[in-house]
Structure 1
Amino acid sequence: MSTSGYTEATMADHPYFPPDLDLPGYTPNQIGVPILLASFAGAVGFACSVTSVVARTVRPGISKGQLLTAMWFVVCGCIHLFFEGYFAYHNANMPARMDLFGQLWKEYALSDRRYLTRDSFTVCMETVTAVAWGPLSFVIAWLVVTDSPFRHPLQIVVSLGQMYGDVLYYAIFFFDESVYGAVYCRPEPFYFWAYFVMMNGFWIVIPGWIIYTSVIETAKAFRVAEGSAKVKSL
């Protein structure tokens, strides 16, 4: 991708693609990229640490696998409800946002400018994610910590919803690019592979594994229940 097809007259005063993209009220970020990324990583680490302390206090014998699952859903809940909820609420004026979340979104938008243009799919998808999967993720985390069997059906529902939304997100990006020639991402490989592919890929790989484990556990429970029923009928 290059800017050779754009003249100086069509180049807008922002780093997003296409260069002639109109972003009313756009204000450049003032927080450096290392600080933005470190802030995000620090928030994720803090959420995991708090989850670990609470989980080990409530249930000292919690397994490593269940602890990691609880951490995952707490992180999901925080990102879905607060970070994506922020976008859903402020989607109309994202180019002008200058608080921490606003600048984080503008940094991520270098890989997908739809987050600055009030794209209908992105706004609706993120709103559903924030309203539905955000609170449910916290509920699941608590069910995991307390070793409730109800965590399995909810894990499947939320994880499937996360995967479905992510697949649609990827699919529409590539469909618009290949069919309509839409340009959403800057040409540097970093933005595509690190931001767009890797950071969203977590919500396909991890939910896929969680669905698999919950399906296996559910199948085992049904086998035990069916075995008990057969014994009682003898």
Structure 2
Amino acid sequence: IKTLLTFISPAGKEYSKADSRWLVSDPIIVSVEILTVVLVSLIALLLIHAILNDKYYRHFLQIALSVCELYGGWMTFCPDWLLGSPHLDTSNWLHLWIYLLFFNGLWVLVPILLLLQSWFRLRNLHALRSDTTATKKKKKL
């Protein structure tokens, strides 16, 4: 744990150069992170279990986790955008393109890809169920 914290602390300090809200106890950031640590972490652990054990509730958890991540990202950045981004350093290309856009973009891209995966899987299951139901109806006739 100490090694992990030693790694995370400098990374957090470096990221705070792009988003100064991470240097202080910004109530929006703290609120989102409390929810993330408590609820989203539990959903993520359950999702790992569901994926590894091919559980029926896998896509429900995957959708819930993805929506939580997208909502958390929105609530992290939208209030600051509405204020004119006073806490975001967009003047430095590294802070803007790598820290703010690339790394935060991953937190948008991955949930969207997971949502699409669940969408197509559920659509295919529905189509399979519809085909099975239609076949049963034809046999009864």
TM-score, normalization: structure 1?
A: 0.52
Query: For residue 213 of structure 1, what is the amino acid of its counterpart?
Result: Q
Please say which of residues 205-214 and 222-231 is displaced more in the overlay. 222-231
Report the aligned-residue RMSD.
Answer: 2.2
- Are the structure 2 counterparts of residues 186 and 221 from structure 1 closer, same or farther at C-alpha, using a change threshold of 3 Å? closer
Does the 8 Å CA contact 1:163/1:203 hold for their aligned counterparts? yes
1:79-158 superposed matches below 5 A? 99-158=6-65
Match of 1:192 among 76, 81, 96: 96
What is the alpha-carbon distance in structure 1 between the residues aligned to residue 20 and residue 8 of structure 2? 16
Which residue identity is paired with 1:154?
L
Letter paired with 1:103: P
CA shift for structure 1 position 186: 6.6
How far does residue 100 in structure 1 lie from its aligned partner after superposition? 4.1
User: Which protein is richer in helix relative to its size?
Assistant: 2
What is the total number of aligned residue pairs between the two structures?
Answer: 136
Alignment match, 1:177: 84
Give me the whole-angstrom Cα distance separating, in 1, the residues matched to 2:88 and 2:105.
18
Matching of residues 159-178 of structure 1 within 5 Å: 159-177=66-84
Higher mean C-alpha displacement, 104-113 vs 184-193: 184-193
For residues 5-47 of structure 1, the C-alpha deviation after alignment (integer angstroms, 9 at most, x for no partner) is xxxxxxxxxxxxxxxxxxxxxxxxxxxxxxxxxx8xxx7xxxx
**Bigger relative contact order (CA 8 A; separation at least 6):** 2
One-letter amino acid of the counterpart of residue 117, structure 2:
T
Q: Which amino acid aligns with 1:115?
A: W
How far apart, in 2, do the equivalents of 1:169 and 1:183 lie? Answer: 11
Q: Distance in 1 between matches of 2:90 and 2:10?
A: 17
SS of equivalent residue, structure 2 residue 55: coil
Offset of residue 154 of structure 1? 0.8
Task: String of CA shifts for 1:66-106, please: whole Å, max 9, x gaps.
Answer: xxxxxxxxxxxxxxxxx8xxxxxxxxxxxxxxx54333222
Residue identity opposite 1:187 in structure 2: S
Structure 1 counterpart SS, 2:29: helix
Identity %, equivalent residues: 21
Report the secondary structure of 1:111's partner residue: coil
Give yes or no for contact 2:28–2:75 (8 Å, CA) kept in 1.
no
Please give the alpha-carbon distance, in whole angstroms, between the structure 1 residues aligned to 2:107 and 2:92.
23
Describe how 1:2-151 pairs up with structure 2 within 5 A. Answer: 99-151=6-58
Segments of structure 2 that go 5 or more residues without pairing to the other structure are: none
